[in-house]
Structure 1
Amino acid sequence: MSAPLAGLRVVEISRTVAGAYAGKLFADCGAEVTAFAAVDGPLGAFLAHGKHPVAELSAAEASIAGADVLIREADGHDEGPGAPVTVEISPYGRGGPRRPWTDFTLQAESGSLRLRGLPDSYPLMAGGRPAEWVAGALAAGGALAAILGGGTARLDVALLDVHAYVTNLFVDTRAALQGESRDPMVLRHRLSPSVEPTLDGWVGFNLASAQNLQDFMVLVERPDLLTDEELSTHYGRYRRAKEWNEVVQSWTARHPTGHILEQAALLRIPSSPVHSGATVVEDPHMAERGFFVSEGTGFTRPDVPFLIGGARPRPDGGALPLRSDGGAARPHPEAGPGQRPLSGLRVLDLGTWWAGSFAATLLGSLGADVLKVESTRRVDGARLLNADPRQELWWERGPFYLGANHNKRAITLDLADPDGLGLLKRLITTADVLLENFAPRVLDNLGLDWEGVHALNPSLVMLRMPAFGLSGPLRERVGYAQTVEQYAGLCWVTGYPEGPPTNPSGPSDPMGGANAVFALLAALRLRAGTGQGLLVEAPLVEAALTMAAEQIVTAAATGRVIGRDGNHSPGIAPQGAYPCAGTESWVAISVVTDAHWSALRDLAKVARWTEDPALGSRAGRQAQQDLLDRELAEWTAEQDAADLVTALLDRGIPAARLTDPRFAHEHPQLAGHGLFEEIDHPVVGRIHLPVVPYRYSGVERWSRLAPPTLGQHTHEVLTGELGLTPEQIDELTARGVIGTRPATL
């Protein structure tokens, strides 16, 4: 297979994983990438694979003049030469504040830190720098969309925005919908069940539906709890956490992990082994898929996390094919002046939950005509998550649904009905893209596997995003963000010291969506040369494994297994979330350099810090970081958080208040950079919702269409595009083939 991005020239000037991963995606698909990068060690070698590294910044800058794409990480204020498509990645966005920061302080400032951990302990960071990985995937996809659109563009990617979108779980939207009190409150809870102890290790669960919960109670041999209404809700299980955890763990601890997974699979309960970076490479599923390779680095590493045309792309895949007239075709009609780059692209969106829906939202936001297809018998599950059944039209009020479904039209079709399936097939013949993230059996059983879809429309690109892929022993396993995070090792590096692995709050879903969009756009460029459609397979688990690459390659190259250590990070000490005066008032502090330490020591005036010369070095501080955490907490407890952060930043020390995620849209920087837009929704009214977490030149406002209500555009599409008569519409409605209310509620 030809390399999808052969012929493109990219310059990468990166400081973090974000820029380096954006460049890696281009290199994986055959672009020529010249890279000046700061990430080193085994992770740096993984990110550099397939690139042309240069040791001097000047060498990279000299290559910009001939580049199609420039990926540059800076502080949001740097000026310099650009390329036709220039991506700028910075902590706060172009023109944002100049202040010291770390990944940890951005997690705090975004709001996500307040959501993770136990109610009676300190807020807990997500391990593995998840937002940097997602930022890289988003940056690469936005840049490639600009290339396909035939124009020039400047992308402004703020890591703070990505943090707020990736791990805040739409709490801001939920709080607005439910009218939550502004009183400070503890938001940290342990999801249960999630990661649980077994006879020989750990097992992970994710209950995504009421049926999952009922089946789980049968699994743990407590069917008597099926009638306990309080335990049927997350909040009820939080209130009775001690009792509920005893129910779960008294059963899981008696059984080996393999037995639990077999029994859970029989009940179709999403479940997973909880891997580390050392054990996941031995998992039979990934071995059969051939996902771990060592060519080019000499140690085991993740391969490209998607397949195009049945194969993983390779940098040396050959030149892009041309049309018979010798010209390069376009993947869709070229965007005109003022149009978004994917204008003219028609997408059928069968995506559900967050990952699939987010992928389609990215496409719609970049200009594609996206048609979301649901069934009244099986609506998108995101509609029901955290919605309040006591409210009118409550299925239109799900915060996850509202936050991940901008810029789409929506229809309903019952695909179990021959007429509904027939109408979908007619729509497939008119589409450029069909996108879905069901378990493989769902579309296969309808005759809409790749062979069936390709026969209907030979030029269509089909994007499939099953949790565990289209092959391997786990092919039919249902999985969500939590499931693949447990499997991939992301939980292994998140948690309190000596505590259980902890889910990092869902970043693998937007990572999966952003990765899949890049793969899809690469396939569209390849299709432009041949006119032939392609199958793109982008499993959610492989996106998660890419995010876990640091622990995988570190274990393979050095034998060291990275574990969880609370809020500590290598090379930074002390670092933590420390309580301040007032209820749930916290400050995040990262001491990266000796100069930071000297400034903190002079500000806090803790006598022991001056008396102990060992604390003058990073190694000395790391040796005492637990004691330093306790001493810092004693000092900050009497401080006003806002005043303390100002004092720390004035002295050049990375610090941030922990934002309340319920009101993240009020954060001056998040609001000012445009992460939230006020949307007029037909059911919930005017509300601030998060949109695509980067800025794109010429796009003043991302949201063109509010998240659609169920079947909102069914009549419009079936009559205006497929030519059905009013009588036919009435007959389909009467039979439940189409509709605007969930049939099972």
Structure 2
Amino acid sequence: MALDPAPLRALRVLDLSTGVAGPYAARVLREAGAEVLKLEEPLGDPMRDWSASYKALPPGEDAGLFQFLNAGKQGVPCDLTTADGLEILGKLAAEADILIENFGPLGFAERKLGSLQDDHPHLSIVSISWWGHEGPWATRPANEWTLQAAIGMTARRGYPERGPVACGGRFGEWSAGSCAAVAALAAVQSARQTGRGDHVDLSVFESMLLCMTQYHTLDGQFRPELLPAYVECPSIERTSDGWVGLACVTPPQWEAFCEMMGRPDWAENPKLVSADERMKIRDTLHRDIIEWMAARTTEEVIEAAALRRIPVAPVGDGTNFSEMEQMVARGLLEDAPGGFLQPRPPIRLHGIERMPLEAAPARHPKPGAGFSSPRKVAETAISTGAKPLSGIRILDLSAFWAGPMCTSTLAALGADVIKVEAGKRPDGMRFVNTMPLENFWEAGSIFHGANLGKRGITIALDSEEGADLFLRLVADADIVVENYSVRVMEQFGFTLERLQSINPRLTLVRMPSWGLDGPWRDRVGFAMTIEQSCGLAWISGYEDRPLTVNVCDSVGALHTTCGILMALEDTRRTGRGRLLEVPLVEPGLTIGADLIIEASRGNEIPREANRGPLGTPQGCFQTSDGEWVALSVETDVQWKAFAQAADKPDWASRREWQTSAGRRKDQALIETELASWASAHAGPEAEQILIDAGVPASIAVNAHRVLPHPQLEARGFLEDFEHIFTGRMHYPTLPWRPKFAADGWYESPPPTLGQHNREVLSASLGLSPDELDSLEEQGVISSKLG
């Protein structure tokens, strides 16, 4: 069967960015067919020489992660500090749709990039910076690691007696890159409607708040007490022959785990349904868990847990992916042109061609390269400036976090999202992190955060009448999104063929944990399970214990959002819908690409607690007032400036500490010195000394104390809504600022259960009040739990 062209083949992108976030956003577009030119200044992208394994590269060879991020792009030398460089950029901008950059607010101004849109009004610019271009903290020193402390993630992770511990990897930057890809695609659609491009100002800090916390800024309003340090129980456990990853998110999963362990008394304690309550007696629980696991192999634990539908997976360490039958059966890893293994593209539009595997641009490319053929940008009439997805209708069957976050993002972009739940079994996130209210299922902070801007209805899909109602709604929908276990849609009879027989333009979006086929297709999986299997947890945590990272739901949501925007572009061109498949495991593998790449080259990425390749020294140190300050010295210049500001001239003058390599050899001694220095200062004072010296630093803020925050207030990241049960709340939105959202991202707070039954079913299906009453009496629809 012939495959159709990739949906973004007409899109042209200029990638001026370095690092992870910008290049990854451009890669996502390239994988869907866009033509991408990578413009490099004379010093080149530092990622060419960067490796998380600390291994030196052969002369002239590019790092594997650089090659992965920039595969398929064409290199263009361009010195933007010169008139010739600006002329080259101007000529290319005349034919481009999107420009991606991360020079920061000062670098953006120095290179006069703002004037590009005066000359080329069709062009959209996506600017990625740590804090955003506007606001009082716009130029404040930061990196991904210190931002983890600023969002409350570092203080939340780990055991209290061992101190806070950040995630390994650069997952915040991958998250920001995923956000930037969505922002770019939305900007393209907006430019098509208005005839004018946009300058999209994206904050990595806000991206990480959205993606790496469980809506803790909102949860702190629901439950104002301090949020304690936390490790799931059970989680990553030693077996007789290795490690296994488990998760107990729902009460049935915890009960099944207790039964598997032979501990019915645990199940009889109602408090232990809560993961936070289990954390309080973790030592007691863990003694029995350690003993039980140590008596069994990893495969035996997996078999027992999977039989009980407990989320479970082997723990990936970079070397054992070829032993995981699901990854082998679905071909999730492939050979890259650079001679290493890499994850395949995570977004799969069925029936669409894949772009060929191509190398990244070489160092020092020849000048004169450009887009494949000249193109004059079409002038279009200016419209009213509606949001890019205005007029698009989405039926949202998804639950928990990844699916709802995806559809809430689409609602922010203007889509009419109708959330479909069952009165007897609504979205499970309604029951997590709730306020102590009579209607507690209307007061779950994660549910609130992931369901803004939607209308909510209830339908008993397992009834004949309910299935008929849903299929009638399909007739006017553009997208159906679901993240059930694979077998559920077939049990309802909602196959792609049946849905498209009603509406050929419909795209069915499926977000299973492991994929629609393969030996693990029917296994239950949550974000923690994905992080365990993909190796993200392996490089995070203490040296003797890996910890999950809390990012796969949100990253899966953003990749699915990208896939939907691509699918809508394909439908605009062809008039047909598609099957879109984005299993959670595949974005998980993608953001852990450096582990896969390095392992295939025989290198190991160490798990180092708070140390890491971004800075030396890098760590979390307790201050005199009991706070912890996170610091990351990225350069030798920063080290000297910090030594002077700290009144420690011997730190700067000591010859072996004047280079990053020398400081790395003496990390333990330097950390002892830093611990002593920090203990003599209060947290805010220590933080300010570091910031004034130009060193990325942050107090490890409690996640429930991030708000109020001057940068978030200045940029309008929070929007206020009055909810019928919880009152007025400050809701986190999206981490970029386009023109079309100048008046706000969302139209409404999250829906109560069945809130819009009558509104939607009468307007869309023409049901009368008597018919709606009858459906309520039969239990087909309901606005009550149960």
TM-score bin (small chain):
over 0.9
Task: Give CA deviations for 1:297-338 in whole Å, capped at 9, x if unaligned.
Answer: 322111110211245632599xxxxxxxxxx9xxxxx99413
> What secondary structure is seen at the aligned counterpart in 2 of 1:665?
coil
Aligned to 2:261: 220
Is the counterpart of residue 165 in structure 1 residue 206 in structure 2? Answer: no
Q: Distance in 2 between matches of 1:429 and 1:228?
A: 47
Choose the corresponding residue for 1:655, options 691, 697, 700: 697
Which residue identity does 1:63 align to in structure 2? L
2:714 to 672, 683, 708: 672
Q: Distance between the aligned counterparts of 1:298 and 1:479, measured in 2?
A: 32
Task: Report the alpha carbon displacement of residue 122 of structure 1 after superposing the two structures with TM.
Answer: 2.2
Greater Cα offset, 407-416 or 122-131: 122-131
Q: Counterpart of 1:696?
A: 738
Q: CA deviation at 1:518?
A: 0.8
Check if 1:567 corresponds to 2:567.
Answer: no
In the TM superposition, what is the alpha-carbon distance from 1:501 to its structure 2 partner?
Answer: 1.0
Alignment map for 1:571-720 (pairs within 5 Å): 572-583=615-626, 585-605=627-647, 609=651, 612-700=654-742, 701-720=744-763
Deviation at 1:412, TM superposition (A): 0.3
Given that 1:76 and 1:91 are in contact with CA atoms closer than 8 Å, whether structure 2 keeps it comes out as no
Tell me how far apart the structure 1 counterparts of residues 279 and 327 of structure 2 sit (CA, whole Å): 35
Deviations 1:193-228 (A, max 9, x none): 111111111111111211100000011121232222
Contact residue 309 and residue 536 of structure 1 kept, 8 A: yes
Is contact 1:76–1:92 with CA below 8 Å preserved after alignment?
A: no
Q: Deviations over 1:577-622 (max 9, x none)?
A: 1111223x12111111112222222333458636742112211110
Deviates more, 1:482-491 or 1:100-109: 100-109
Distance, in Å, in 2 between the alignment partners of 1:638 and 1:554 is: 40
The aligned counterpart of 1:20 is 23
Please name the residue that 1:470 is paired with: 516
> 5+ residue gaps in structure 2?
49-62, 80-84, 359-376
Q: Is the 8 A contact 2:643 2:652 kept in 1?
A: yes
Alpha-carbon distance, 1:295 to partner: 4.2
Give distance in 2, aligned partners of 1:633 and 1:131.
Answer: 26
* Deviates further, 64-73 or 667-676: 667-676
Q: Which string of whole-angstrom CA distances, capped at 9 and with x for unpartnered residues, describes residues 409-430 of structure 1?
A: 0100000111011000000111
Task: Answer whether contact 1:665 1:671 (CA < 8 A) is retained.
Answer: no
Question: Are 2:235 and 1:209 aligned?
Answer: no
Q: Which residue of 1 aligns with 2:52?
A: none
In the TM superposition, residue 540 of structure 1 has moved relative to its aligned partner by 0.7
Label 1:501 to 1:62 Cα distance change in 2 as closer, same or farther (>3 A). farther
SS of corresponding position for 1:656? strand
Letter in 2 for 1:652: G
Size of the aligned set, in residue pairs, is 721
In structure 2, the residue corresponding to 1:33 is in which secondary structure?
Answer: strand
- 8 Å CA contact retained: 1:4, 1:313: no
Stretch deviating more after TM superposition (84-93 or 691-700): 691-700
The correspondence for 2:78, drawn from 34, 39, 56, is: 56
Superposed CA deviations along residues 373-430 of structure 1, whole A, max 9, x for unmatched, are 0001221111111224x41210010010001111110100000111011000000111
Contact 1:405–1:707 under 8 Å retained in 2: yes
CA distance, structure 2, for counterparts of residue 692 and residue 548 of structure 1: 24
> Which residue number in structure 2 is paired with residue 195 of structure 1?
236
Aligned alpha-carbon RMSD (Å): 2.1
Distance 1:634 1:344 in 2: 60
- Matching residue of 1:358: 405
Q: CA deviation at 1:61?
A: 6.0
Residue number among 68, 81, 98 corresponding to 1:46 in the alignment: 68
DSSP 3-state at the match of 1:435: strand
1:25 shift after superposition: 0.7
- Corresponding residue number in structure 2 for 1:553: 597
1:121 and 2:162 equivalent? yes
Partner of 2:373: none
Structure 1 contact 277–548 (Cα < 8 Å) conserved: no
Q: 2:290 aligns with which of 249, 254, 257?
A: 249
User: Residue in 1 aligned with 2:57?
Assistant: none
Distance 1:64 1:391, change over 3 A: same
| Alignment match, 2:53 | none
Aligned equivalent of 1:524: 568
- Matched position secondary structure for 1:338: coil
SS at the partner of 2:529?
Answer: helix
1:68 aligns with 2:68: no
Q: For residue 286 of structure 1, what is the aligned residue in structure 2?
A: 327
Aligned residue identity for 1:495: G
Q: Distance in 2 between matches of 1:424 and 1:435?
A: 13
**Against the structure 1 CA distance between its residues 46 and 61, is the aligned structure 2 distance closer, same or farther, given a 3 Å change threshold?**
farther
* d(CA) in 1 for partners of 2:93, 2:454: 37
Distance in 1 (CA, whole Å) between partners of 2:458 and 2:753 is: 7
Distance in 2 (CA, whole Å) between partners of 1:17 and 1:200 is 35
Deviation, 1:448, is 0.9
Q: CA deviation at 1:145?
A: 2.2
Whichever residue aligns with residue 683 of structure 2, its letter is A
5+ long unaligned stretches in structure 1 = 318-327, 329-333
Read off the aligned partner of 1:167 and give its amino acid letter: M
Is the CA contact (8 Å cut-off) linking 1:24 and 1:48 kept in structure 2?
yes
Per the alignment, residue 322 of structure 1 pairs with none
Q: In structure 2, do the counterparts of structure 1 residues 679 and 606 end up closer, same or farther at CA, with 3 Å as the change threshold?
A: same
Instruction: Name the amino acid aligned to 2:26.
Output: G
Q: Within 2, Cα distance between the matches of 1:671 and 1:204? A: 39
Correspondent of 1:153 among 192, 198, 212: 198
Q: Deviation digits for residues 662-713 of structure 1, max 9, x if unmatched?
A: 1323111122222222221111110111112222123121121111111110
- 1:60: how far off? 5.4
Counterpart residue type for residue 14 of structure 1: S
Higher mean C-alpha displacement, 149-158 vs 522-531: 149-158
How far does residue 95 in structure 1 lie from its aligned partner after superposition?
2.1
Does structure 2 conserve the Cα–Cα contact (< 8 Å) formed by 1:156 and 1:694? Answer: yes
**Alignment equivalent of 2:526, drawn from 480, 483, 489:** 480
Specify whether residues 312 and 577 from structure 1 end up closer, same or farther in structure 2 by C-alpha distance, changes over 3 A only: farther
Structure 1 residue identity aligned to 2:537: C
Partner of 2:362: none
CA distance in structure 1 between the aligned counterparts of 2:159 and 2:357, rounded to whole angstroms: 49
Q: Which residue of 1 aligns with 2:58?
A: none
Tell me which residue corresponds to 1:86.
125
SS in 1 for 2:253: helix
* In 2, Cα distance between equivalents of 1:370 and 1:141: 17
| Number of the residue aligned with 1:275 | 316
462-471 vs 73-82, which deviates more? 73-82
CA distance, structure 2, for counterparts of residue 707 and residue 141 of structure 1:
22
* Match in the other structure for 1:36: 39
Deviation at 1:644, TM superposition (A): 2.0
For residue 407 of structure 1, give the secondary structure of its aligned residue in structure 2.
Answer: coil
Contact residue 540 and residue 546 of structure 2 kept, 8 A: yes
Preserved contact between residue 5 and residue 352 of structure 2 (Cα < 8 Å)? no
Give the secondary-structure state (helix, strand or coil) at the position aligned to 2:594: helix
Q: Separation in 2 of the partners of 1:248 and 1:342?
A: 49
1:231 & 1:6 partners in 2: Cα distance? 52
> How far apart, in 1, do the equivalents of 2:614 and 2:384 lie?
49
Match of 1:9 among 5, 12, 32: 12
TM-superposed CA distance for 1:74, in Å, is: 2.0
2:781 counterpart residue number:
738
Higher mean C-alpha displacement, 446-455 vs 199-208:
446-455
AA at the equivalent of 2:684: A
Letter paired with 1:514: L
2:280 corresponds to = 239
Offset, 1:469: 1.0
Q: 1: distance between equivalents of 2:783 and 2:382?
A: 34
Deviations 1:77-121 (A, max 9, x none): 424124622111111112242132221111112221111111112
Distance (Å, rounded) in 1 between the aligned partners of 2:693 and 2:269: 55
Structure 1 segment 442-521 matched on structure 2, within 5 A? 442-497=488-543, 499-504=544-549, 506-521=550-565
> 368, 377, 395: which one pairs with 2:415?
368
Change (3 A) 1:425 1:391: same
Partner Cα distance (2:207, 2:349) in 1 = 27
Q: Which runs of 4+ in 1 moved over 6 A?
A: none
